[in-house]
Amino acid sequence: MISRKALGALRYVLVFVLLATIGAPFVWMLLSSFQPTSILIKPNALFSPAAFTLANYARLPEAASFLLLLRNSLIVAVASTALTIPLALLAAYSVYRTRYPGRSTVYNLMLVVYVFPSILLLAPLFKIFASIGLLNTWLSLIIMNVTFSAPFSVWLMRGFFSSIPAGVEEAAAIDGATELQILRRVIVPLTAPGLIVTATYTLVFSWTEFLFASVFIIDDSLKTLPVGLESLVTQYSVDWGLLAAAAVATAIPVIALFAFTGRFFVEGVTAGASK
């Protein structure tokens, strides 16, 4: 029989191994961003303190058009989030707080979008957007981001809506509040953490989306960060130092966002899974 202390020590070891496995690529990326490519392409070379440099970050705005790509990604991500939040809020309120025939069917149909691989939708959506003039526009990306993030956002908000007592809405209705007033003055304040979860998920999803952005956007001036940074990888050479710096700079907004909203995101995921 294994003692409790041994089991506890084994758990810590497994957690440490897991964190090391997950964190190693990020540490490598961070260290590489401060190294010249001449060091990174050497066999068995990881980090040389003598070769420490900030040149990769200094070259980033001009060499990779990083500021332009950053602006494009911010526009697409913020617009997608601004549209997803009210849609997810209204859909979640309809599914979890109202009663009507077919409500469960509506909820199940919202999740059907995740049954099929997104790449199967690439060709037909490309043809549709081309026929209506939305190809090579940010609006095509915003539509796709909202389409894929809104259903999952509704599921994330399930736990927050389920935790609201029905008596709260009934009391507001007795006081003469309309449905919209109840939603705005009662439901929204009580589900504010859920809205933060929705905004976080949508923003990160839109910030990192690559498949549709690489196909729907043709002009370099309209490309987002994940697609634009692909230009750093050419057929004959790869500027690894600059690519690592670009990856770190791209990840910083996401890390900062999770630093403030990570607690709400974990709460939303666990609540939605347990209700």
DSSP, collapsed to helix, strand or coil, labels residue 233 as strand
pTM over 0.75: yes
Query: What is the Cα gyration radius of the chain?
Result: 23
- pLDDT tens digits, residue range 47-86? 778 888 888 898 888 877 888 999 999 999 999 999 999 9
State which amino acid sits at residue 176: G
CA distances from 209 to 29, 144, 217 (A): 20, 10, 12
Here the tokens at position 228 are 């634009």
Q: Which residues pair with 233 in a beta bridge?
A: 238
pLDDT tens readout for residues 180-223: 788 888 888 888 888 888 888 899 999 999 999 999 999 989 99
